[in-house]
Amino acid sequence: MIRIKAWFKSGAPWVWLNAAAVSTCLIMVVGVLGLIVVRGAGHFWPAPVVQFSYQEPDGQTRTIIGEHVDTSITPAAMAKSSGHIMADDEDTLVQYLVKTGNRDITGTDFRWILERNIKQQQSPAELMVVERREWGNFYGQLVAVKESGKVIAEGEQAGPVAQARINEALAVFDEIAHLEKKEVGGINYKLDQLRLEQKGLQLKNRWDAAAEQRISVEKAELEIEYKKYQAQLLELYKQIRRDSLVAKTESGQEVEVPLAKVVRVYWPNTMSMFDKIGHYGVKVVEFLTDDPREANTEGGIFPAIFGTVMMVLMMSVIVTPFGVIAAVYLREYAKQGFITRLIRIAVNNLAGVPSIVYGVFGLGFFVYILGGNIDQLFYPEAAPAPVYGTPGLLWASITLALLTLPVVIVSTEEGLARIPRSIREGSLALGATKLETLWLTVLPMASPAMMTGLILAVARAAGEVAPLMLVGVVKLAPTLPLDGNYPFLHLDRKFMHLGFHIYDVGFQSPNVEAARPLVYATSLLLVLVIVGLNLSAILIRNHLREKYRALEG
């Protein structure tokens, strides 16, 4: 007893408790990162397809085919309170979440089943998964392959034939996508430009016979080109609609799956480890480089990655000079006193103002005031459709540049502060002006610090969502902000963003359950990018500290 008292008096328990707080924080960080990694990376691994023989509540036994996604174990008391009938000797209620797919047939992709009602469970080799462009996955057995309605392969041969036909269809699909997006999209863009040009000329009262002649000729040329592509597309569509698969669902019903809608077919239960790794690789590549499908719940996130990168690049171009200049002013030019204190307060406030306020400011000031005036001055022909008077890439970048300005300032300032006075004095003593000293000695030495600041700013901007929701991010952008149409970089376009993608797919999607794995995968990507950026910033900073410590010593 005395011992305990003495122990408490020494203060040691409190130190331990404080240590526990640190451990808790560490556990939380590692736990969150681990959760994202496990869930995010696991999504692409081909799960076995299981065939359950399941006794329904009404007593009938049915076959259920699907992927076993999740297991929930509920204590008896809680299960009872949520309305399950529990036997006295049961401690827990075990339920499986099964992804049954076939949404076009059954109406749902997922269902919860009770473990105790499963009579039998196996993974037959013939079960296949069809990833489709509509209605989600299909689970079932391949029966036959059809060409223009006629069966061309059945039973054993159906598998390889189906695979070959799908590859053909995919090639055609790629061609169609290329034609529609690149060629036809380009023609549409040019037609729109012509229309705007015509309207612009009319507004300026320079719409004369010559202009009319020129524009109508150009239009006619585009029309002809368009017709040509139209014919090609028609042919390709005919080709892609030729084949279909016949498959049997869990209830034994035979359905036809047109190959035009199929992304891939695989038989997960027969895959070897290498097959699975290969499949995983293909899925990851698809995730990183493909467009989203099915309301963003399937497919890739390439446009979101692209949009994020574009926005961050634009933002860096804007924020770096301003941040560096402000930091240089604070460290090199300003007399330390009232003004610098004021600026520091302003910097801290810029860092502390909620990001949504930046969004509101960006929307009101940049989009409506600046953008609205730019439209009136330079794009009167587009009215009433706004060009810059609507949220877009440019405004998002500027808003985020304002948001990340303090990060760059603080980091650069720290770097400048670490450069020993002797270096500046040496340069000045040799007759260099202040600017030359700055430009030729100080700034190059501080460049890693600026780099750190920029990296941190990029990391912050990549993860920021709230202001972007107001100033330019959309859930699905039809075109990328950078494409083959003059002037190539379209600053007025709306774009997709990884962070917003997570919010949108996770919370606004009609089918959250189906979208969840993709959200985890997107989160993983975002976390990897941001943690990577931050770690590199930390490394550069530590390296820098060492370097100047050596310099000072």
Partner 1 sequence: MSEITSPTKQPPSIKISSGELYQRWRLVKDALARYGVVVGGLGVIVAIVLIFFYLLYVVYPLFISATAQPVSEYAVPEQALGNTLLLEMEEQNEVGARFTDSGHVVFFEVASGKTLLTQAVAIPEGAHITSFAQGSPINEGAVIYGLSDGRAVVVKHQYKVTYPDNVRVITPSLKYPLGEQPLVMDESGAALEKIAVKAGNDATTIVVKTADTPQGAGKIRLVNFQKEQSLFAEEAALTRTDSIFEQPAANIADILIDKEESNLYLISNDGQMGFFDISDKNSPAIRQQQNVVSAGQKITSVAFLNGDLSLMIGDSSGLVSQWSMVKDKLNRPAMQKIRSFKVSDKAVVAINAEQRRKGFMTTDADGIVGIYHSTAEREMVKERISGALPTAAVLSPRANAMLVQSADGKMHFWHIDNEHPEVSIRSLWQQVWYESYPKPDYIWQSSSANNDFEPKYSLTPLVFGTLKAAFYAMLVAIPLALMGAIYTAYFMAPKMRQYVKPSIEIMGALPTVILGFLAGLWLAPFMEEHLSGLFAMLMIIPVGVMLFAFAWQFIPKPIAHRLSEGWDAALLVPVILLSGWFAFKVSVPLETFLFHGTLRDWFKAEFGIGYDQRNALVVGVAMGFAVIPTIFSIAEDAIFSVPKHLTVGSLALGATPWQTMIRVVLLTASPGIFSAIMIGFGRAVGETMIVLMATGNTPVMDLSVFQGMRTLAANIAVEMPESEVGSTHYRVLFLAALVLFMFTFVFNTLAEVIRQRLREKYSSL
Per-residue binding string, partner 1, 364-403, x by CB under 8 A, is xx--x---------------------------------x-
User: Footprint of partner 1 on residues 409-448 (CB under 8 A)?
Assistant: 409, 433-436, 438
Q: Report, in Å, the least distance between residue 474 CB and partner 1.
A: 10
Quote the DSSP letter at residue 47.
P
Chosen residue from 225, 534, 536, 548 binding partner 1 by CB under 8 A: 534
* Residue 241 C-beta: closest distance to partner 1, Å: 38
The interface region with partner 1, picked from 58-66, 139-147, 156-164, 324-332 by CB under 8 A, is 324-332
Of 5 and 150, which has the nearer Cβ to partner 1? 5
Q: Which is nearer to partner 1, 35 or 171 (CB)?
A: 35
378 half-sphere exposure, CB direction, 13 A CA radius: 8
- Phi/psi for 549 (5° steps) reads -60, -40
**Of 49 and 402, CB closest to partner 1:** 402
Q: Is 405 in the site for partner 1 (CB under 8 A)?
A: yes
Report in angstroms how near the CB of residue 466 gets to partner 1 at its nearest. 4
Do residues 299 and 488 make contact, with C-beta atoms less than 8 angstroms apart? Answer: no
The span of 2-10, 152-160, 202-210, 283-291 binding partner 1 (CB under 8 A) equals: 2-10
Please say which residue, 162 or 525, places its beta carbon nearer to partner 1.
Answer: 525
Q: Which of residues 126-185 bind partner 1 (CB under 8 A)?
A: none
* Stretch in the footprint of partner 1 (CB under 8 A) among 108-116, 168-176, 380-388, 496-504: 496-504
Give the strand pairing for 243-248 and 254-258. Answer: antiparallel
CB-based burial of residue 543 (10 Å sphere; 0-12 exposed, 13-18 middle, 19+ buried)? Answer: exposed
- To the nearest whole angstrom, how small is the minimum distance from the Cβ of residue 528 to partner 1? 11
Residues linked to residue 146 through DSSP beta bridges, in sequence order: 151, 244
Nearest C-alpha neighbor of 417 from the set 345, 339, 336? 336
Q: Which pairing describes strands 127-132 and 138-147: parallel, antiparallel, or unpaired? A: antiparallel
Q: Does 544 bind partner 1 (CB under 8 A)?
A: no
- Contact between 349 and partner 1 per CB under 8 A: yes
207-226 residues near partner 1, rule: CB under 8 A: none
Binding residues for partner 1 restricted to 53-92, rule: CB under 8 A: 72, 74-78, 80-81
Buried/exposed 265-296: b ≥16 CB within 10 Å, e otherwise? bbbbbebeeeebeebbeebbebbeeebbbbbb
Angle, helices 512-552/393-418, rounded to nearest 10 degrees:
30
* Residue 21-60 contact track with partner 1, rule CB under 8 A, x = bound: xxxxxxxxx--x--xx------------------------
Report phi then psi at 192, rounded to 5.
Answer: -65, -40
Nearest-approach distance from CB 506 to partner 1, in angstroms: 5
Please confirm whether the linkage preceding 75 is cis (ω < 30° from 0).
no
407 near partner 1 (CB under 8 A): no
Contact 457, 404 (CB under 8 A): yes
DSSP 8-state symbol, 267: -
How many CA atoms, within 13 angstroms, populate the side-chain half-sphere of residue 409? 24
Q: How many CB atoms lie within 10 A of CB 224?
A: 9
Judged by CB under 8 A, the chain residues 504 through 533 that form the site for partner 1 are 506-507, 512, 516, 519, 523, 526-527, 530-531
Shortest distance, CB of residue 440 to partner 1, whole angstroms? 12
- Asked if residue 322 binds partner 1 (CB under 8 A), the reply is yes
Say how many residues touch partner 1, by CB under 8 A. 103
Residue 523 CA to residue 502 CA, distance in Å, equals 7
User: CA 181 → CA 164, 185, 188, 207, 483, distances in Å?
Assistant: 26, 5, 10, 32, 10
Q: Which stretch binds partner 1 (CB under 8 A): 164-172, 226-234, 240-248, 361-369?
A: 361-369
Tokens of 499: 């962070």
d(CA 296, CA 509): 8
| Contact between 345 and partner 1 per CB under 8 A | yes
Stretch that binds partner 1, among 42-50, 98-106, 243-251, 455-463 (CB under 8 A): 455-463
> Taking the complex as a whole, how short is the minimal distance between the CB of residue 321 and partner 1, in angstroms?
8
Question: With binding defined as CB under 8 A, does residue 251 bind partner 1?
Answer: no
